[in-house]
Amino acid sequence: MNRLIISTVIFALTGSLYATNMKAPISLPTAKTLPKGVRNINLKGVFASASEKYNTFGNPVGLSDPMYTNVTFGDLILGKDDGFDKAGIISKMQLVGATEDTILGETTGDINVKPTVTVPVFAWGITNKWTAAIAVPVMKYSMNVDSGIRQTNADIYNKVQTELMNDGLHAEREELNRKFAAPLEAKIIEYGYRPLANEEGTKLGDIALVNRLKAWEDKNNALTLTGAVVLPTGEELDPDKVVDIPGGDGQTDIVVGINHDFYFAKYFTFSSGLSYTAQLSDTVERRVPIQRKSTVSKDRDNNIDRNLGDITTAQMASNINYRGYSFGMGYTFSYKSGDKYSGSKYEQTRYDWLGKDSVQNMQALTAKVGYDTITLFKEGKFIAPLAISLTHTRVLDGKNMVNDPLTVLDFNMFF
Amino acid sequence: MKNLLFITTLLLLLSSCGREANPVSAPKQLLEVSANDYLEAEKNLETEVREINFFSLPNEEDLANFSFEQGDSLFESNLNAWGRVLSNHQVGTNFANKYFHKYPCFKVKEGSNEGKCLLNEVAGVTSFIPDYSYSCESMVASYGLYQNIVYDERIPSSFTEEEFAASTETLSTMLNDIKSCFFEAKTNHMAGISKSLSTLDKEISFSTYIFNIANVRDKGWRINKSYLSKENKLKDILEENYFKNFSCYQVRKGPNKRKCYLKKLSRITKSKPEKIRSCEDLEELTPMFEGIVEDTAIPADSRSKYVISESDLNRLKNDVLECKKMEGGKLKRYQSLAHEGRTLRDDGKILVRELLSQAEIKSGRKFLTTAATIHDEDTSTGKLSEIFIDLNEMTISDDTRLAIDFQTGEGFKYYGPSLGNMTSMVIKRKYNAVANYTYYTVHFKFFVSNGMVVETDPTEDKGLSFDTNSTFGVRMSGKMLFHYPDGSKRKGVMKIEVSYKN
C-alpha cells in the first residue's frame, strides 16, 4: 500500500505534438493507479527542439533537409499549369541545348523549432482499481524558417537570359530573374500560400481521456490495463502554410495498453508496458503534391480520405524510490506504419505522395530523477503530498523521427 | 504559505514559459545577371508596321482530334519548308546529326546495284552528293537500300568493307538507331503529334512547335539582316577598291572611238564617266582601255592623264580578277545566305499558318488572326497598320490604327483607340530588381464585333514587352489572352514590329 498509495499517473501522449508524427516518450512506464477518492493534478512541461531528424534510411539529417532539392528544367515544366506555359519553357530549354534533367540550381532551407508543451493532467481514483484522467496539452512554440537557392548553372542560365533579351522579352526575363532568385517564395505567392515567416504561437493540442484499470495486484506484481481516447481538439495543419506546427492531427485515436510492475526489492520497481494506438481514419483537406519531392502545390482537395498509421510501443524501465528520492531509466521501442491518403480529384499517385516517409520507428532512452513529499506527508512532516521530477529522453536510432532530445519537468499534487 | 507560493510559482512557470527558436539562415548563391541597355530614344521610327504576328493557340480540348504525323499532307505538302525549319532548330539539328546525317546514301547510278546506297562516293559509279534521310520513317525506307550490295568490278575490291558497303554490324547499328529515332522523336516534341498522345501532350507539342518555329523565324530574320549588312559592306569595299579606281570617259569621235579615256576631253568624250556597278561591268570596260592610238585631240604633254599606262592596265586586269573572285565568292555567298534567312522566315510563317489552319478545321474554333502590314499586304482594300510611337516620351498615340482580320467575316478592319474598338496602348515603366534595369511593357485590349475581347497578358500586369534593337527595330511581343464569345479563354501571342527610318 505504501508504495501504491500515491503515484504519478503517467500517460504517454504519443502523437500529440506534431500531428501524425510519432514522438519520443515523455515518461517511464508504470502500472500504478490512484487510490479511491484521491485526486491528482499533474503538470508537465515538455521542452523540446527540432533541428535534426533521422531520415527514411535512418541517417541523421537536418530538419530542413527536404528543402535541399535540385531545380531542373523538368521541375520548371512541371510547375506550370497548362500546355502553353509548359511549351514556353520547353522551347527555351531546347534552344539553349538543355534537357529536362539539366540542373539549374539547388533550393536550400533552414528551420529551427522550439516547442514547449505544457500538459495539465487531472486524474481521479474512482475506485481503488479504476483511475480516470483527462490531459489537456497546450503548446507554445517558436519557429524560425528561411529558404534560399544556390544558382549553379551559370552557362545555361545566361543562355536563357540571352535568348529572352534577343527576343526582347523583358517581362519574361524579369519574371525569370525574380522567381529564380527566390523560387519557394515565388511559388508560395503564386499558389496562394501564406508568406513564409518566422512564427510564435500557442495552440491547444489533442485532449486525451484516459482510463486505467488495475487488473491484478499482489505483493510483488501489479498489472493495469489502459484505454484512452485522444480527441481531435488540437488545431490542425493549415493547408495554406508551407511549414506549419499544428496543435493536433485532427483525428481520433484509440489507445489500448497494458503495464506491469514487478517490485523486486523494497525500493526497486521493474516496469514494462505495451501499447497500441489505432489512429482512426478521417477526411482532411490538403494540398495535393504535383511531384514527389515537394508538397508545395496549388491543387487542393478538401475531401481526402486519410488513414494515419497505427503505433505500437514497447517500454521497459527500472526505478528506485527511497523516501521520496527517485531515479529511473527506461528504454522504448516504437513503430508506426505508413499513412495512407486517397481521393478522387487527382490521380492516386499524387495522394500517395502525401504519405511519403511516414513509416516511423524509434529507439529511445529515458532517464528520470525526482523527489516527492509523500513519505514526509505520511509522517506528518509535510503539509501536502507533492512530487516533482525531471525526465530526459534521447532518441538513439530511428526512421523519419526527430532525433533532438527532450526534457520534461513534471509536477504532481495529490489531494 | 511558502509552499503554496512555491507551488503557484511553479505552475505559472510551467504554463507560461516558452523559448525562442535559434536564428536560421538558408545558404544563398545568386549568379550575377547583366542589365539590359537597350533603348535608343534618338532613332526615328517608321509609322507603318512592318509585321504583326497574332494568334491564339488551341488547348487540350481543341486538339482532341488533332494529329500531325510525317506522311500527313500537312507535312508532305510543305516538305522543303519543314526540312529547312527543322534543320535550323537546335533540336532538329541535333536530331538530324544524331540519326539522319550518320548514314549518307551515295546512290549507285547504274548496274546491278542501281538505286542502292553506298556509304562513300565511288567516282563514276555513285552520285556525287549524298542523300540523307529526313525522318525516322524515311530511315526505315532507306534501310533496305544499304543491304545486299552485289559485286561490281567498278567498286573498289574492298567494297564489302565498311568504307563503301554497309557491313552487317553497320546495318545492325542502323536498325537500333531507327528504333531510337522513333523513341526520341516522340519525346522531343519536334517529330509530329501522334494520335495516341494525351490531349495535354498534344497541347504541349503543338505549342512547342509554334514557339520553336518562331525562334527559327527570328533566326532567319537575323541571318537575313546580318548578311544583307555584310553584302552592303562588301559592295562598299568593291566600290572603294575597284569601281572607283579607274574612270572611263567613252570616246565619241576620233581614232579611239568607243574606247576609254581616263579623263573627260571636251567635245571628244562623253561628259560623264561610265557607271561601274559590278565586276562584270569592270571586265567589260577593261578592253576599252586597251589599244589606244595616237589622238591629236589629246594635248601633247597630257597623254598620261587621258590614256592608261601599261602598268595601270595590268593593275586594272588584276583588279578585275580580284573583284570577280570576291563577287563570285563572298558576295554571292552573302546574297545566298541573306536569301536563305528570308526564306526561313517565310517558311516559318507558312508552317505556323498551316498548323493553325489544321487545328481550326479539327476543332471548329478560330485561332488565326491576320494583320495588314508591309510584309502582309491587304491587296483587296489596301489597308495598312500604322502605329505612332514617341520614343522620347514613351507613348503611343491614340491615332494608332491596326488593320486586323479576326475571321469574323468582315475582312480587315481598323482597330484603334480613336475608333472605340480598342483601348489606348499604354506604355508602363517597370523595373527588374535582380538585373537592375528599367524596361517597358505595353497594355491594351481589342473589342471585336463578335463579342470577343483580346487583351495583353493580365497576369501580374505583364503586358507585351517593349524592345528596341538594331535587328528588329521596335518590337512589342508577348502573351495575349483571348476571351471568346462563348465564354472560353485561350492563350495566344502577339508580336508587332516597326522598323527604324533609314
pLDDT bin (cut points 50, 70, 90) of residue B126 is: confident
Distance between CA atoms of A9 and A119, rounded to whole angstroms? 13
Q: What is the pLDDT of residues B186-209, one digit of tens each?
A: 555 556 788 888 999 999 999 999
Q: Which of A73, A98, A25 is nearest to A271 (CA)?
A: A25
Cα separation, B209 vs B66, in Å, equals 14
What pLDDT is attached to residue B153? Answer: 80
Question: Are B211 and A114 an interchain contact pair (Cβ–Cβ within 8 Å)?
Answer: no
Pick the CATH number of A2-414 from 2.40.160.40, 2.60.40.10, 3.40.47.10, 3.30.70.260: 2.40.160.40
Q: Is the pLDDT of residue B278 over 60?
A: yes
pLDDT at B186: 59
Cβ of B94 and A169 within 8 Å?
A: no
The label of the residue with cell 483571348 reads B482
Q: What's the confidence (pLDDT) of residue B39?
A: 60
Answer whether B15 sits within 8 Å of A120, measured CB to CB: yes
H/E element, B41? none
Closest C-alpha among A109, A139, A125 to residue A47 = A139
Q: What is the DSSP letter of B46?
A: -
Please judge whether B15 and A174 are an interchain contact, meaning their C-beta atoms are less than 8 angstroms apart.
no
| The pLDDT of residue A4 | 21
Query: What's this model's pTM, rounded to 2 decimal places?
Result: 0.75
Q: What is the pLDDT of residue A3?
A: 26
At A188 the pLDDT is 87
Minimum mean pLDDT range among A60-74, A364-378, B81-95: B81-95
> Residue B331 above 50 pLDDT?
yes
Q: How many CA atoms lie within 13 A of A260 on its CB side?
A: 8
Single out the residue of B51, B178, B151 nearest to residue B471, CA to CA: B51
- Give Cα B465 to chain centroid, integer Å: 20
CA distance B477 to B463: 9
What's the burial of A192, exposed, middle or buried (CB within 10 Å: 0-12/13-18/19+)?
exposed
Residue B321 has pLDDT above 70, yes or no: yes
Q: Which three cell numbers stand for residue A174?
A: 524579369
Rounded CA-CA distance B97/B105 in Å is 14
User: Per-residue confidence at B237, pLDDT binned at 50, 70, 90?
Assistant: confident
Q: Per mean pLDDT, which of A15-29, A119-133, B176-190, B268-282 is the most reliable? A: A119-133
Going by C-alpha positions, the residue among A407, A119, A51, A115 that lies closest to residue B20 is A115
Q: Which residues of A touch B210 (CB under 8 A)?
A: 87
Q: Where are the domains of chain B?
A: 51-57+367-498, 90-189
pLDDT at residue B284 is higher than 50? yes
- Report how far residue B42's alpha carbon sits from residue B21's, in angstroms, rounded to the nearest whole number: 57
**Which residue has better confidence, A37 or A64?**
A37
Task: Report, as an integer, the average pLDDT of B268-275.
Answer: 91
CB contact at 8 A, B286 and B206: no
Q: Cβ(B495)–Cβ(B475) under 8 Å?
A: yes
Task: Give A63's contacts in chain B (Cβ within 8 Å).
Answer: none
Residues of chain A with C-beta less than 8 angstroms from the C-beta of B30: 149, 151, 181
**Exposure on the CB side of residue B6, measured as CA atoms within 13 A:** 10
Contact B11 A411 (CB under 8 A): yes
- Averaged over B229-249, what is the pLDDT? 86
CA atoms of A110 and A67, how far apart (whole Å): 8
The pLDDT of residue B260 is 92
Whole-angstrom Cα distance, residue B215 to residue B223? Answer: 12
Interface test with B, best of A44, A91, A173 (most B CBs within 10 A): A91
Residue range B30-35: mean pLDDT, rounded:
81
Q: Is B226 on the interface with A (CB under 8 A)?
A: no
pLDDT digits (tens, 9 = 90+) for B357-372: 999 999 999 999 999 9
- Report CA-CA distances (Å) from B214 to A40, B173, B228, B352: 78, 35, 21, 8
Which residues from A are below 8 Å from B10, CB to CB?
A: 43, 388, 411
What pLDDT shows up at residue A18?
A: 27
Alpha carbons A24 and B142: distance in angstroms, whole number: 69
Chain A residues touching B15 at Cβ < 8 A: 43, 45, 118, 120, 138
Minimal Cβ distance to A174: which of B3, B25, B439? B439
Q: Tell me if chain B has a CB within 8 Å of the CB of A160.
A: no
Asked whether residue B404 carries a pLDDT value surpassing 80, the answer given is yes
> Distance between CA atoms of A169 and B466, rounded to whole angstroms?
8
Is the CB of B26 less than 8 angstroms away from the CB of A409? no
Residues of chain A neighbouring B18 (CB-CB closer than 8 A): 114, 116, 140-142, 200, 202
Average pLDDT over residues B260-287: 89
Residues from chain B contacting residue A91 (CB–CB below 8 Å): 207-208, 211-212, 215
Please list every residue in chain A whose beta carbon sits closer than 8 Å to the beta carbon of residue B17: 45, 116, 140
pLDDT for residue A114 is more than 90: no
Q: What sign does the dihedral B453-B457-B459-B461 (CA atoms) show?
A: negative
Between positions 342 and 401 of A, the ones with CB within 8 A of B are 383-384, 386, 388
CB A220 within 8 A of CB A262: yes
> Where residue A5 falls among pLDDT bands split at 50, 70, 90?
very low
Report the pLDDT value the prediction gives residue A399, as an integer from 0 to 100.
92
Query: Which H or E run contains A372?
Result: strand A360-372
Instruction: For residue A407, list chain B residues with Cβ-Cβ distance below 8 A.
Output: none
Q: Outline where B188-250 has alpha helix (H).
A: 199-238
Better-scored residue on pLDDT, A49 or A382: A382
Over residues A250-274, the pLDDT tens digits come to 899 999 999 999 998 888 999 999 9
Question: Which residue in A293, A300, A404 sits closest to A343, CA to CA?
Answer: A300
Q: DSSP secondary structure string, B155-185?
A: S-GGGGSTTTSPPHHHHHHHHHHHHHHHHHH
The span from the CA of B195 to the CA of B93, in Å, is: 25
More confident residue, B34 or A39: A39
Cell numbers 534593337 label which residue?
B469
Nearest CA distance, B27 vs chain A (angstrom): 6
Distance (Å, whole) CA A24 – CA A30? 17
- Contact (Cβ atoms closer than 8 angstroms) between residue A391 and residue A368: yes
| CB within 8 Å of chain A, chain B residues 91-110 | 91, 94
Chains A–B, number of C-beta pairs less than 8 Å apart: 206
Q: What is the DSSP string of B394-461?
A: TEE-TT-BEEEE-SSSS-SEEE-GGGTSB---EEEEEEETTTTEEEEEEE-EEE-TTS-EEEE--GGG
Residue A17 belongs to what H/E stretch?
none
Q: Which whole number is the average pLDDT over B59-78?
A: 84
Residues forming a β-bridge with B369: B54
| Over residues B245-270, mean pLDDT | 91
Task: Tell me what percent of the residues of chain A surpass a pLDDT of 90.
Answer: 58
Dihedral sign, CA of B393, B394, B396, B402?
positive
Q: Taking each helix axis as running N to C, give the angle between helix B332-363 and helix B79-87, from 0 to 180 degrees, rounded to the nearest 10.
A: 110
Of the candidates A91, A177, A409, the beta carbon closest to that of B33 is on A177
Is the pLDDT confidence value at B353 over 70? yes
Rounded to an integer, the average pLDDT of B402-420 is: 95
Q: Are A84 and B491 in contact (CB under 8 A)?
A: yes
Query: pLDDT, tens digit, for every residue of A218-254?
Result: 989 999 999 999 999 999 999 999 888 888 888 999 9
Please say if the pLDDT value at position A1 is more than 80. no
Percentage with pLDDT > 70 across chain B: 89
Structural contact between residues B247 and B282, judged by C-beta atoms closer than 8 angstroms: no
pLDDT over threshold 60, residue B498: yes
Mean pLDDT score of chain B, rounded to an integer?
86
Angle at which helix A83-95 crosses helix B90-98, to 10 degrees, equals: 60
Three cell numbers written together for B455: 487583351
Lowest mean pLDDT among A75-84, A159-168, B263-272, B327-336: B327-336
Candidates B222, B284, B216, B298; CA nearest to B253 is B298
Sheet holding A282-287, edge to edge: A282-287, A300-307, A340-342
Please report residues of B whose CB lies closer than 8 A to that of A388. Answer: 10
At A366-402, the pLDDT tens digits run 999 999 998 888 899 888 899 999 999 999 999 988 8
Is B203 touching A (CB cutoff 8 A)? yes
For position B92, what pLDDT does the model report?
Answer: 63
The length of chain B, given as a count of residues = 502
Q: Where are the alpha helices (DSSP H) in B188-198?
A: none
Q: Check CB contact under 8 Å for A113 and B21.
A: yes
- Parallel/antiparallel/unpaired status of strands B106-107 and B117-118: antiparallel
Q: How much is the pLDDT for B8?
A: 56
B461: nearest CA partner in chain A: A171
Of residues A262, A356, A246, the one with CA closest to residue A309: A356
Helices B168-187 and B90-98 pack at an angle, to 10 degrees, of 160
pLDDT band of residue B36 (cuts 50, 70, 90) is: low
Q: Do A90 and B460 touch (CB under 8 A)?
A: no
Determine the pLDDT at residue B5: 53
- Distance (Å) from the alpha carbon of A106 to chain B's nearest alpha carbon: 9
Q: Pairing between strand A103-125 and A138-151?
A: antiparallel
Q: What is the pLDDT of residue A360?
A: 93
| DSSP line for A54-103 | E-TTS-EEETTGGG-EEEEHHHHHHTSSSHHHHHHHHHHHHHTT--TT-E
Mean pLDDT of the B272-283 span: 87
Reported ipTM? 0.75
| Cα B490 off chain centre by | 26
User: How buried is residue A4: exposed, middle or buried, by Cβ count under 10 Å (0-12/13-18/19+)?
Assistant: middle
The larger pLDDT score, comparing residue B426 to residue A7, is at B426
Please report which confidence band the pLDDT of residue B380 belongs to, taking 50, 70 and 90 as the band edges: confident
Neighboring chain B residues of A387 at a CB cutoff of 8 Å: none
pLDDT in tens, A279-292: 999 999 999 998 88
Interfacial B residues in 434-453 facing A (CB < 8 Å): 434-435, 439-441
* pLDDT of amino acid B279: 86
* Residue B164: per-residue pLDDT: 67
